[in-house]
Amino acid sequence: MFDKTVAELSAALRRRQVSSVELTQLFLARINKYKNLNAFITLDPERSLAQAKAADARLAQGESTVITGVPLAQKDIFCADGWLTTCGSKILSNFVAPYDATLIEKFNKAGAVCLGKTNMDEFAMGSSNETSYYGAVKSPWNTEVVPGGSSGGSAAAVAARLAPAATGTDTGGSIRQPAALSNLTGLKPSYGRVSRYGMIAFASSLDQGGPMTRSAEDAALLLNVMAGFDVRDSTSVNEAVPDYTQTLNKDIKGLRIGLPQEYFSKGLSPDVAKAVEAAIAEYKKLGAQVVEVSLPNSQLAIPCYYVLAPAEASSNLSRFDGARYGYRAKDYTDLLDMYCKTRAEGFGAEVKRRIMIGTYALSAGYYDAYYLKAQQLRRLIAEDFKKAFESCDVIMGPTTPSTAFKIGEKSDDPVAMYLSDIYTISVNLAGLPGMSIPAGFDPKGLPIGLQLIGQYFDEARLLNVAHRYQQVTDWHKQMPKGFN
């Protein structure tokens, strides 16, 4: 049962082939068995099993939804009532959330079971899941390499079959990049499609929650639950939400695929380029046609992002000072000293780096030179996509420039780490939906991801395009050795 998809588990539950309690016990046992991956921060078996029992009761009464009784893992960035919610940071290591994030609320209402809270880069700042206060997450494909980040715990958990699916968040690629490095299907919805209420903020104009699954079909099932307008979130968009499963099998003959020349230039691994080209060839067999497009400002996405995101982080993280909740330094002389020592002891090196960069960019004398210029460039990046979509329906390319790198390999070189998101960041800056799907492996057996980018609120098309590819390939069905 642990190797079945969400769709398959849902069918088995409704046919009474297995109970939610049995499934929950199975996955909790696997989580305990493979603790060496460090995929989870918090488990509460008693609470999880209580949810499973309630789900079984709903199933027996015929009051279930498609995902009632299905166990899921939740990224530890979402507040969940009564659960320790740390965001991978020492400064929140004792914070038990007093309320549910909208996303958690929606899953609870649908009858899903929470298996636990997954490990992540501290405050979602990282691309390797090495900045977590709770230690690095290891990839089930090779425990010497990273699973990607910041949603690395969710990625490792689903890849190793410790959970059928999980939630993640994507600020600059933190769903798509770990999905690519871990052989998963990861979807970043359009900005405003999934409520951010109760999701601990990193960069408010970029953050977006989304599903991390093994297939496009499962991603559609989860997005059906997650998507929707929320009056409690001022960035939520009141846009109609379709049933994403209804158009999965739609014919893609005549689909226009845009290939940005900038995504196939220097810096792209030959192994990744070969896999992406093979995936494009499969789409041609399905009746799609390829057109060349240009995103001339995409190479400036990283400097733009690393002005804007730290600037927003410096503001958002100012609330963590030890005065109201979370960690507080033990020895201090006055209030200011308490603030300084609490933040110095509570935040990790990468978080401190970004807070300082952001504060500098927003300071008097530098606001116009850095922050304002970055916002202007952000608009140009969005305009590039708008122009590209005049001649294509979906943009495709690599998700990452290479496959997974070794743990510790880029820890002392922040710029090299930042470059691993070079193909994903521009999508967040533009607010578009983006998706990564499995597209092969390199000679070392490490996964490669194909990125799909769509127009605003066109997640249904992305899921359809991904699903059609997965019907004729089996990359997404591959499982790491040693986790049977």
Residue 352: inside a domain? no
Residue 22: inside a domain? yes
Q: How far apart are CA 4 and CA 328, in angstroms?
A: 44
- The active-site residue, picked from 75, 90, 106, 188, is 75
Type of residue at 11: A
- Is residue 64 among the annotated active site residues? no
Residue 205's pLDDT is 97
- The active-site residue, picked from 89, 150, 190, 298, is 150
Residue 381: inside a domain? no
Question: Closest Cα to residue 398, out of 375, 364, 382, 421?
Answer: 421
What is the count of structural domains for the chain? 1
Q: How many CB atoms lie within 10 A of CB 65?
A: 17
Q: How many CB atoms lie within 10 A of CB 49?
A: 16
Work out whether strand 394-398 and strand 447-453 pair parallel, antiparallel, or are unpaired. antiparallel
**Domain interval for residue 200:** 6-255
- Is residue 132 among the annotated active site residues? no
Residues of the chain with pLDDT under 50: none
Residue 235: inside a domain? yes
Q: How many CB atoms lie within 10 A of CB 286?
A: 15
- Tokens 């603030």, residue? 339
Residue 416's pLDDT is 84
pLDDT tens-digit map of 268-291: 999 999 999 999 999 999 999 999
Residue 52: inside a domain? yes
Residue 77's pLDDT is 98
- The active-site residue, picked from 174, 195, 426, 436, is 174
Helices assigned H by DSSP within 195-264: 216-226
Residue 420's pLDDT is 87
Q: Between vectors from CA 318 to CA 316 and to CA 319, what angle results, nearest 5°?
A: 85
- Residue 194 is encoded by which pair of tokens? 């999934």
Q: pTM value?
A: 0.97
Q: How many CB atoms lie within 10 A of CB 341?
A: 17
Residue 365's pLDDT is 84
Residue 160's pLDDT is 98
pLDDT tens-digit map of 179-218: 999 999 999 999 999 999 999 999 999 999 999 999 999 9
- Tokens 């899953």, residue? 107
Residue 450: inside a domain? no
Which strand ranges, in their side-by-side order, compose the sheet holding 256-260? 40-42, 113-118, 71-75, 166-169, 209-213, 185-188, 434-441, 447-453, 394-398, 256-260, 289-293
Work out whether strand 185-188 and strand 113-118 pair parallel, antiparallel, or are unpaired. unpaired
Q: Residue 371 gets which letter from DSSP?
A: I
Residue 473: inside a domain? no
- Residue 46 is encoded by which pair of tokens? 């008693």
Tell me what the pLDDT averaged over the chain comes to: 97
* Cα dihedral 466→468→473→477 (10° resolution): 60
- Tokens 């499982």, residue? 479
Q: What is the CATH number of the domain that holds 243?
A: 3.90.1300.10
- Tokens 């590819």, residue? 469
- Is residue 138 among the annotated active site residues? no
Residue 417's pLDDT is 87
Residue 168: inside a domain? yes
Q: How far apart are CA 378 and CA 132, in angstroms?
A: 29
Type of residue at 250: K
R_g over Cα of the chain: 21
pLDDT tens-digit map of 382-440: 999 999 999 999 999 999 999 999 999 998 888 888 888 999 999 999 999 999 999 99
